[in-house]
Amino acid sequence: MTIQILGSGCPSCQKLEANAKQAAEQLGITADFEKVTDSDKIVDMGVLVTPALAIDGTVKESGRVLSVEEIVAVLRAGA
């Protein structure tokens, strides 16, 4: 599984990445983490507002920092 954090690397992006790592750890999921900072690639993925969270290339949420609990729910639902 690849968990992608889409954004410029701002503090919100960093917080989203930290929350995603914590959520994966809570679930015992081994995941590769990828930072997507290229604006063209972010737009190509359909994201207009960052930060965004994608799982295996599918955007799950954008425009806000999800909590650890929200990311756990996303991972359980469709990952």
User: How far is it, in rounded angstroms, from Cα 41 to Cα 62?
Assistant: 14
Rounded to the nearest 10°, the torsion over CA 77, 12, 15, 57 is 40
10 a catalytic residue: yes
Instruction: Check 3, 5, 13, 31 and give the catalytic one.
Output: 13
Pair 15, 65: CB distance under 8 Å: yes
Instruction: Check 1, 2, 9, 10 and give the catalytic one.
Output: 10
**Tokens standing for residue 35:** 């930072």
66 a catalytic residue: no
Residues with catalytic annotation? 10, 13
